[in-house]
Structure 1
Amino acid sequence: MKLMLDTKDLTDGFFEETKLLGIMAPLKDYQFCWQLNKLLGIDFRINNELEIQLKKKNRSYFFSIYEYPEPSTCLKHYLYKNQNDGEYLLPEFKHLDFLWLLKDDYVSDEALQHLVQSIKSINGVQLVLELTNEKIKNKEHLVF
């Protein structure tokens, strides 16, 4: 008898109170984080414990995650690298280099638009868009 783990509830719970941005910026992840930190006055740091591992074609691919917990709020920011050695965390968004997840607190549309405009002002950023849950086919790949 083979038991299948139903991850739908887990995934749905993970994405409650979240916003997700897709970013096209062909930059190294550490360079992009440095620019974000400098411009926005935040402190993205790599969190190796959250790193996501996907197994495809008998190989393991690792996707780094940078984390920034916003002081005196419950809001946490996570920046995922969407590409590793030709594989994608979200293959349906191959054109995106980074995914920015805002989680665990309400984010107003105004605050999100302000963030989008700020990210767009960074040198090398070509596109920033909000990804709605319906558009994401492999959202379980983002769950850590």
Structure 2
Amino acid sequence: MNKITVFKLEMDMEEELDFVLLGISSPLRDYRLCHFLNKNTGLRFIYGKESDLDHKGNSKEGPKEEYEYHIIQEKSRNKKPALKHHFAIYRDCDPNYEYEYYLINNRSLEGGILIPEIANFDFFMVIKHFIHEDDLNTLIQQINRINDIIMVKEIVPKILKSKENLIF
């Protein structure tokens, strides 16, 4: 009889949450907010989570929605199929991944909320990799200068119950 070895994989969620999170309240539509962010901060947001082209310029395989949206599958409590929520997302990423900025809508196209415990924020800016505190403060000030911004606040992702929704 063969002996079966079972391996258990444990992930350290702390490592996965290595990013800065800003909550943004604004009545602007996502594309208008990106326009004003690009104009006032020097960031260059473009639509989509990632390019649908690989590093050689060839089309990647897979559904296009996976590159355009941040998709969260709702947990189903009954036998109905789980509903997919599509959250509009924009990116400004260095080709060498020295910096990555993402702007993600807190409401999905289907009406779901990405981070329900802080539903008062309309958008989240996820900043991956290191950002100096002075640069972060300057960015927050620049965002606050946009007329239709109600509030910008840094949020500690570790305290959020729905923090796994921000991992992509």
Q: TM-score range by the shorter chain?
A: 0.7 to 0.9
Q: Which runs of 5+ in 2 are unaligned?
A: 1-7, 50-66, 77-81
Q: Which runs of 5+ in 1 are unaligned?
A: none
Shift of 1:52: 1.9
Post-superposition Cα deviations, 1:56-99, rounded to whole Å, max 9, x if no partner, equal: 36432100221102478711111111112431111111000110
Counterpart of 1:25?
A: 26
Note if contact 2:25-2:151 (Cα within 8 Å) is conserved in structure 1.
Answer: yes
The reply to whether residue 126 of structure 1 matches residue 135 of structure 2 is no
Counterpart of 2:16?
A: 14
User: Are the structure 2 counterparts of residues 117 and 47 from structure 1 closer, same or farther at C-alpha, using a change threshold of 3 Å?
Assistant: same
Q: How does 1:125-144 map to 2 (within 5 A)?
A: 125-144=149-168
Moved over 6 A (4+): none
Amino-acid identity (%): 31
Note if contact 1:53-1:62 (Cα within 8 Å) is conserved in structure 2.
Answer: yes
Counterpart of 1:45?
A: 46
User: Are the structure 2 counterparts of residues 62 and 6 from structure 1 closer, same or farther at C-alpha, using a change threshold of 3 Å?
Assistant: farther
Structure showing greater Rg: 2
Between the two proteins, the alignment pairs up a number of residues equal to 138
- TM-score, scaled relative to structure 1: 0.83
Note if contact 1:53-1:63 (Cα within 8 Å) is conserved in structure 2.
Answer: yes
The one-letter code matched in structure 1 to 2:92 is Y
The one-letter code matched in structure 1 to 2:20 is K
SS in structure 2 opposite 1:100?
Answer: strand
Note if contact 1:70-1:77 (Cα within 8 Å) is conserved in structure 2.
Answer: no
Note if contact 1:55-1:61 (Cα within 8 Å) is conserved in structure 2.
Answer: yes
Alignment root-mean-square deviation, CA: 2.4
CA distance in 1 between counterparts of 2:118 and 2:9 reads 24
- TM-score, scaled relative to structure 2: 0.72
Counterpart of 1:74?
A: 98
Counterpart of 1:88?
A: 113
User: Are the structure 2 counterparts of residues 71 and 55 from structure 1 closer, same or farther at C-alpha, using a change threshold of 3 Å?
Assistant: closer
